[in-house]
């Protein structure tokens, strides 16, 4: 982990961080993955979304959240007028862009849950990613993301309540893959999206 921390800290911008991750040899997940999945969307966005790990589609395309869960994620943000394709550079007033990444940049074999030591090893990179992108607000999608960044488990209790990560407001939400399996929980997700929207207006 010390090696990861050093490599992450040495990155001075997002390009260097990506290179540092691509060169990082101390996580076996990379051996089973086709692509490093770094991020998508607008790195200057006010909102940074952090998911769990790439799945099959993401591994093939090298982009986060492009499969079924990703399509739902796009629809969720579109419902509050936001999206990854929006490149309005002015972050201060009503920037509607989002920036998306994951706790893990490589797909775990057969989409198994990441192991705690894998998460711990790669955490310095996500944390540095947050510092460099410097969003106003973080959205933590699902248990793995909450556990990694907040050190807390239990998304059902955590969701919809503001927390703090690296000095920024962070909102835990249900993961869209969970919502696909439990469509009734979309009600809570909608509530959380409106909370996010209200907070953005307050901060604007
Ligand atoms: N699920 C995630 O958590 N991240 C992705 O990129 C895709 C699915």
Q: What is the pLDDT of residue 87?
A: 66
Q: What is the pLDDT of residue 94?
A: 39
Mutate to test the pocket of ligand 1, among 33, 58, 144 (most ligand atoms within 8 A of CB): 58
Q: What is the pLDDT of residue 95?
A: 73
ipTM: 0.93
The reported pTM is 0.95
SS3 label, residue 132: helix
For helices 2-10 and 116-133, give the axis angle rounded to 10 degrees: 20
pLDDT band at 183 (very low <50, low <70, confident <90, very high): very high
Give the count of beta carbons closer than 10 Å to the beta carbon of residue 55. Answer: 22
**Span 72-124, pLDDT tens digits:** 999 999 999 999 987 655 444 337 999 999 999 999 999 999 999 999 999 99
Are 52 and 105 a contacting pair, CB within 8 Å?
Answer: no
Mutate to test the pocket of ligand 1, among 36, 53, 147 (most ligand atoms within 8 A of CB): 53
Residue 2 CB-density burial (10 A; 0-12 exposed, 13-18 middle, 19+ buried): exposed
2-203 maps to which CATH number?
3.40.470.10
């Amino acid at each position: 982990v010390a090696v990861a921390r050093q490599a992450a800290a040495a990155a001075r911008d997002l390009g260097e961080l990506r290179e540092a991750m691509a060169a990082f040899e101390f996580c076996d997940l990379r051996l089973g993955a086709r692509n490093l999945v770094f991020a998508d969307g607008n790195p200057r966005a006010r909102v940074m979304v952090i998911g769990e790990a790439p799945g099959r589609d993401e591994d093939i395309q090298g982009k986060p959240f492009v499969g079924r869960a990703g399509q739902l994620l796009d629809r969720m943000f579109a419902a509050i007028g936001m999206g990854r394709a929006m490149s309005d550079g002015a972050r201060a007033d009503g920037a509607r862009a989002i920036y998306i990444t994951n706790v893990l940049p490589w797909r775990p074999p057969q989409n198994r849950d990441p192991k705690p030591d894998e998460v711990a090893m790669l955490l310095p990179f996500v944390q540095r990613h947050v510092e460099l992108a410097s969003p106003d607000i973080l959205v933590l999608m699902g248990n793995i993301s909450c556990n990694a960044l907040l050190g807390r488990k239990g998304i059902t209790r955590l969701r919809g309540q503001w927390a703090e990560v690296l000095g920024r407001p962070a909102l835990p939400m249900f993961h869209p893959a969970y919502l696909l399996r439990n469509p009734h929980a979309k009600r809570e997700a909608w509530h959380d999206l409106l909370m996010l929207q209200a907070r953005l207006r307050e901060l604007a």
